[in-house]
Amino acid sequence: MGKYFAFKDNVILVHGVKKGLIQDLNKEKIFSIDENSKYYLNKLLNGTSIENIVIDMSEEIGSKFIKYLELLIENELGYYSDKKIISGKYEHEKCVQRSVSTVWLELRKACNLNCCHCYMDCNINSDFHLKLLTINEWKCIIDELGEFKPKKIIFIGGEPLLFKNIIELMTYVKLKCPESEIVLYSNLTLLTDELVECLLINKIKVVTSIYSNIPEIHDKITKKNGSFLTTTNNIKKLRKFNIYVQANTVIMKYNYKGISDIQNYTYELTGVIGKVDIIRDIGFSKKHIIPKELYELHDRVKTSAKFMPVNKEKLLRNYSGNSCWQGKINITCDGNVGPCIMQSSFINNEYNVREHKLSKILSDYVIPEFWILSKDHIDVCKDCEYRYVCNDCRPMNIEGNNKYSKGKFCKYNPRIGKWENYSDFRGDTSYEVSPD
């Protein structure tokens, strides 16, 4: 056995206030460790000899500690050395993304449906009080977007098909951003033959929503009789022209017991596996249509250390900025700019495309206010050992207009190293490496 112990390259120790996390970036594994393990490991990784660690321990504890080091070596996390080596630190400079990867273009806030779960609480009158961007103003935005070369441009609403110049705009986007993937998010109840032709010619993908394989349930959610039939018939029309269609589902009180049947139905309808999302309590309260079982069964509330390990690139991203917001911008129908389609309460309306170039809004506002917002900046989360493996949806967690709030969907208290109501939920599935 060597005099010192060190972690291998790309194995790091992330410190929480109480506990710690070993991240193995070579094998993309994570290991939770307790307070004592973190304390002694930190001393070893900073060059204290094994002898000087063990000397203050009883013979029994010292023997357990050596076995603990052997366990770390067995897991290919570290090694003995005759030389003092400083290891286990993550010393990269923060490198927040500067390029635009995804752009949402909110053409209208209004919607011809009135879905009960809508996070924007849209209806046909949602934007009557706004000064909507004109087709020419949108074209100026697209001209500048072409310089950013975004990977994906998404037309959203409300219902984007309510924008009367949508065909002209989609054609213009394809012309100016030929390398971007273009996607239309629509309920498809307003689809016309001219729109189908535009989608086909410009190779635009379509994403829609089906809330049930039972028409009455779908229509109850959209609050529009006949919407199921109209949407499904138009999906079939698009499929006849081999236009890509994906049908996603939001699950809530009215449909959560039929998830498998809905997924099977949407796959048969589109040939694409649709996404399933749990209703988000954003906008006016949705609590009356959120059964508790959804959060428990689908892990919306985090009650144990069930985190996906990350690779080197993902760690650098999470360390540098917000795990979700980086690279994303949303432009509203009246020209305001933010990082996300789900939250507008904390957006500064001074940064409007009518007043500033998009490049200035990005450099002066979106990047410094949102993209850099890693969990090192979030209340409580900044004290947590899991902060670089925990994905962050700020709109779901924001309390009031405080974009730095931890929120209510994580039940871990890193300051005491315990999960609240732990026994009420399924067990912890994290790896635990401890000498005890």
- Yes or no: say if 110 and 122 are a contact pair by the CB < 8 Å rule: yes
Q: Is the pLDDT of residue 73 over 90?
A: yes
**Angstrom distance (rounded) from CA 248 to CA 267:** 10
What are the CB-based long-range contacts (under 8 Å, 24+) for 61-70? 61/435, 64/435, 64/436, 65/40, 65/435, 66/1, 67/435, 68/37, 68/433, 68/434, 68/435, 69/5
Query: pLDDT tens across 77-89, in order?
Result: 999 999 999 999 9
Is there a cis peptide before residue 158, judged by omega within 30 degrees of 0?
yes
Comparing 193-197, 281-285, 321-325, 409-413, the range with the smallest average pLDDT is: 281-285
At 340-376, the pLDDT tens digits run 888 777 788 999 999 999 999 999 999 999 999 999 9
Q: Residues 250-259: pLDDT tens digits?
A: 999 999 889 9
- Cβ neighbours, 10 Å, residue 180: 21
**In the prediction, which pLDDT does 394 show?**
82
Is residue 401 in a domain? no
What is the number of structural domains in the chain? 1
pLDDT digits (tens, 9 = 90+) for 126-173: 999 999 999 999 999 999 999 999 999 999 999 999 999 999 999 999
Q: Is residue 202 part of a domain?
A: no
Residue 72 lies in a domain: yes
Q: Would you say residue 272 lies in a domain?
A: no
* Owning domain of residue 30: 4-81
CA distance 358 to 353: 6
Asked if residue 315 lies in contact with residue 23, where contact means CB atoms within 8 angstroms, the answer is yes
> What percentage of the chain exceeds 70 in pLDDT?
92
Tell whether 358 is covered by a domain. Answer: no
Under the banding of pLDDT at 50, 70 and 90, the label for residue 38 is very high
Instruction: Kindly state whether residue 49 falls inside one of the protein's structural domains.
Output: yes
In a domain, 69, yes or no: yes
In DSSP terms, 302 is beta-bridged to: 410
Which amino acid, residue 397? N
Give the residue from 154, 207, 210 showing the smallest Cα distance to 177: 154
Q: Answer yes or no: is pLDDT of 194 > 50.
A: yes
| CATH number reported for the structural domain that contains residue 40 in this entry | 3.90.930
